[in-house]
Amino acid sequence: MVDIIIGAIPPAGSPVGKPGPSGAPIEAELLHVRDPRQRIVGPLGQERRKQPRQDPHNGKVLTLLIPDGTLLPRDFDVKKYKVLLRFMRK
């Protein structure tokens, strides 16, 4: 008997031949840069956002694309990690 499997998914676990997250630099693509949010007051005088937050006045908001998400830590969370950036010209 021969089993023919079409479109099988890879087995769970770490990919073979790829190292896990080690704190090494991860290359990302910068998609967008914008100014920080300002207070947005809704029609009833209340903040429209669900999580009220005051962005720093001189801050910038960056949108990044990480091409290989398997390089990110498995427990990646805003509360557990901080991100350090290094910019290099193309």
All structural domains of the chain with their residue ranges: 27-37+57-90
Taking residues 1-15, report their average pLDDT.
Answer: 62
Within 8 A by CB and 6+ apart from 27, the residues are 67
The model's pLDDT over 14-39, given as tens digits with 9 standing for 90+, comes to 555 554 556 788 889 999 998 887 66
CA distances from 36 to 25, 50, 63 (A): 26, 17, 12
Radius of gyration of the chain (CA): 21
Paired with 65 in beta bridges are: 29
Question: How confident is residue 78, by pLDDT bands cut at 50, 70 and 90?
Answer: confident
pTM for this predicted structure: 0.55
Q: Cβ of 62: how many Cβ atoms within 10 Å? A: 13
CA distances from 52 to 8, 41, 43, 60, 69 (A): 44, 11, 16, 18, 29
Select the more confidently predicted residue: 2 or 86.
Answer: 86
